[in-house]
Amino acid sequence: MSALAREIRQNVEKRRTFGIISHPDAGKTTLTEKLLLFGGAITMAGTVKSRKATRHATSDWMKMEQERGISVTTSVMKFEYSGYDVNLLDTPGHEDFSEDTYRVLTAVDSALLVIDSAKGVEAQTKKLMDVCRMRNTPIMTFINKLDRDGLDPLDLLADIEDHLGIECAPLSWPIGMGKGFKGTYSIYKKKIHLFSATHGGRIQQGVVIDDVNDPKLDEMLGLAAQDLRRDLELLEGAGTPFSVERYLAGTQTPVFFGSAINNFGVQEMLDTFVELAPCPRPRATLTREVSPFEEEFSGVVFKIQANMDKAHRDRIAFMRICSGKYEKGMKIRHHRIGKDVQISNATIFMAQDRTGVEEAFAGDIIGLHNHGTIKIGDTFSLKEELKFTGIPSFAPEHFRKVILKSPLKTKQLQKGLQQLAEEGAVQVFRPMLGNEYILGAVGVLQFDVIISRLKDEYAVDAIYTPVNLSAARWVQSDDKALFERFQKELYSSLATDSEGNLALLADSSWRLEYIMEQWPDITFHTTREKN
């Protein structure tokens, strides 16, 4: 093995790139903060929370984020823990999330699911799980807020199994709940951690007891000790045993219980996470599978963000490295446009700051500055022509028609929308009939962002009018004659997207279903690979 191959192997094996998925308010921000605290990336509790309010205060649409108190954009945070290099990709958690949320999940190797113990599985958790399932992403679960009264632990597991369709294997078990919450038993490490509500921002664990039969436990917990022993017996008999293989295949989720705000159960979960979660995995391209251990560099862009720094007016393309080693100043080929580019100012995202990157490996995310030449889905490599797959567009669920305030700005509008569509900020459709621009989004908040960016970046004053549409599907057929007939008959419902692909826009799900039934040999896609 060459020295480079060895270096790559060592680095890839210690990388863990993951995202947190949850319904708003389940505790994702709080948990993120505690993870960063353990990783030494921040030193004070409250940092992430305040970041939620002040970060990127320079750009208008981020102001919107502040006003609404939600996190619209996705950031990447890197920290070290116990010899591992952890990349945490933050996924926007508001109900009004956008395609970015989905795409971030295509750049991770595993996910952490946070559930509120009082609420169980909620709507957005389901959507995000669907995306994880598309790629069999391994998922670890943290059931949060055990310091409050919530659902019975066994009911929570059943809820996850029923609603998310994934087997649950508890690796820890709560002792009591709410005011009576006494701690957790680690089924995995066979240790008891006793809770004290004074952990706050500090990172130490509570009292640790090694044996569940230790009489000290009865002294400390009273009847709760017996309840715990009974629960464990029950689980031993009827519970699902943990299997690393099933976890890695995405069919079983190991479950932890705790309280993020009290910093309880977090370290236990993090220790297990770095040990069990997969290191960067091979990625599919149109021609072959690329192993993260290969020596030749390759990477794929999964997200583009504009105006992170207003002073520069540039955009940052987030690239996930898929193989090889990135070194500052190296020349890589941008395959879609067939050009070699020298990357000298890539950025890596630390918890508080952005810093220049000297080197990076598979699983790392680097930010490339660009002025609109990079699109989502673009592949970069040293030489070999590759095209990574699996970065989809998702059929929009909300639609608006764009109206210009000044007709003189038609050209700017066209340019703005084309670029914003390439960036993946919104989907732009041109109906076959008429000369309109229909915007489609997965979350309605995207629309506000677009109007404000059109004004800011393209000096275009536009407004929306509602449009009677509620579903879109990309359409395709190998039967040319049939496809021509379909296009002729449904001409008034068809449109092209920004890349020229044909899509059907329907005013109701009922009509969509009806058309799909009428045309069984036409394929209707809810996702489309980025070209």
**Residues that constitute the known binding site for GTP:** 22-29, 90-94, 144-147
Q: Minimum distance between the CB of residue 6 and ligand G4P, rounded to whole angstroms?
A: 40
Q: Which is nearer to ligand G4P, 110 or 262 (CB)?
A: 262
Q: Minimum distance between the CB of residue 94 and ligand G4P, rounded to whole angstroms?
A: 8
Which of 16, 17, 24, 387 is close enough to bind ligand G4P by CB under 6 A? 24
CA distance 319 to 362: 10
Is 26 an interacting residue with respect to ligand G4P (CB under 6 A)? yes
Is 265 an interacting residue with respect to ligand G4P (CB under 6 A)? no
Which distant-in-sequence residues (6+ apart) come within 8 Å of 332 by Cβ? Answer: 297, 299, 340, 341, 343, 380, 381, 382
Q: Which is nearer to ligand G4P, 184 or 347 (CB)?
A: 184
Is 28 an interacting residue with respect to ligand G4P (CB under 6 A)? yes
Q: Which is nearer to ligand G4P, 97 or 242 (CB)?
A: 97
The long-range contacts involving 373-376, CB below 8 angstroms and separated by at least 24 positions, are: 373/334, 373/337, 374/301, 374/304, 374/315, 374/317, 374/334, 375/301, 375/304, 375/336, 375/422, 375/423, 375/530, 376/103, 376/301, 376/302, 376/303, 376/304, 376/422, 376/423, 376/424, 376/530
List the beta bridge partners of residue 88.
Answer: 18, 77
Q: Which is nearer to ligand G4P, 27 or 396 (CB)?
A: 27
Q: Minimum distance between the CB of residue 29 and ligand G4P, rounded to whole angstroms?
A: 3
Is 25 an interacting residue with respect to ligand G4P (CB under 6 A)? yes
CA distance 353 to 31: 20
Would you say 345 and 369 are in contact if contact means Cβ atoms under 8 Å apart? Answer: yes
Is 101 an interacting residue with respect to ligand G4P (CB under 6 A)? no
- Of 26-34, 190-198, 288-296, 402-410, the segment contacting ligand G4P by CB under 6 A is 26-34
Could you tell me if residue 255 is left (phi over 0), alpha (psi between -120 and 50 degrees) or otherwise beta?
beta
Which of 11, 17, 30, 74 is close enough to bind ligand G4P by CB under 6 A? 30
Would you say 57 and 63 are in contact if contact means Cβ atoms under 8 Å apart? Answer: yes
Site residues (CB under 6 A) for ligand G4P, limited to 205-264? 259-262
Q: Minimum distance between the CB of residue 527 and ligand G4P, rounded to whole angstroms?
A: 26
Site residues (CB under 6 A) for ligand G4P, limited to 36-55? 49
- Of 145-153, 235-243, 339-347, 522-530, the segment contacting ligand G4P by CB under 6 A is 145-153
Q: Which is nearer to ligand G4P, 11 or 29 (CB)?
A: 29
Selection from 93, 197, 94 nearest residue 148 by Cα:
197
Is 125 an interacting residue with respect to ligand G4P (CB under 6 A)? no
Is 324 an interacting residue with respect to ligand G4P (CB under 6 A)? no
Which distant-in-sequence residues (6+ apart) come within 8 Å of 452 by Cβ? Answer: 60, 61, 64
- Of 19-27, 84-92, 383-391, 504-512, the segment contacting ligand G4P by CB under 6 A is 19-27
Is 455 an interacting residue with respect to ligand G4P (CB under 6 A)? no
Is 115 an interacting residue with respect to ligand G4P (CB under 6 A)? no
Per rule CB under 6 A, count of chain residues that contact ligand G4P: 18
Burial class (CB in 10 A: 0-12, 13-18, 19+), 203: middle
- Of 10-18, 24-32, 34-42, 125-133, the segment contacting ligand G4P by CB under 6 A is 24-32
CA distance 510 to 505: 12
Phi and psi at residue 424, to the nearest 5°: 90, 10
CA distance 477 to 482: 8
Is 120 an interacting residue with respect to ligand G4P (CB under 6 A)? no
Is 147 an interacting residue with respect to ligand G4P (CB under 6 A)? yes
- Of 7-15, 28-36, 84-92, 294-302, the segment contacting ligand G4P by CB under 6 A is 28-36
Torsion sign over Cα 277, 283, 284, 289: negative
Site residues (CB under 6 A) for ligand G4P, limited to 427-446? none
Question: x/- binding map, residues 157-196, to ligand G4P, per CB under 6 A?
Answer: ----------------------------------------
Q: Which is nearer to ligand G4P, 114 or 475 (CB)?
A: 114
Q: Minimum distance between the CB of residue 404 and ligand G4P, rounded to whole angstroms?
A: 37
Would you say 269 and 183 are in contact if contact means Cβ atoms under 8 Å apart? Answer: no
Selection from 75, 135, 166 nearest residue 278 by Cα:
135
Instruction: Map residue 217 onto helix, strand or coil.
Output: helix
Q: Which residues of 218-240 are buried (b: 16+ CB within 10 A; e: fewer)?
A: eebbeebbeebeebbeebeeebb
Binding site for ligand G4P (CB under 6 A): 22, 24-30, 49, 93, 144-145, 147-148, 259-262
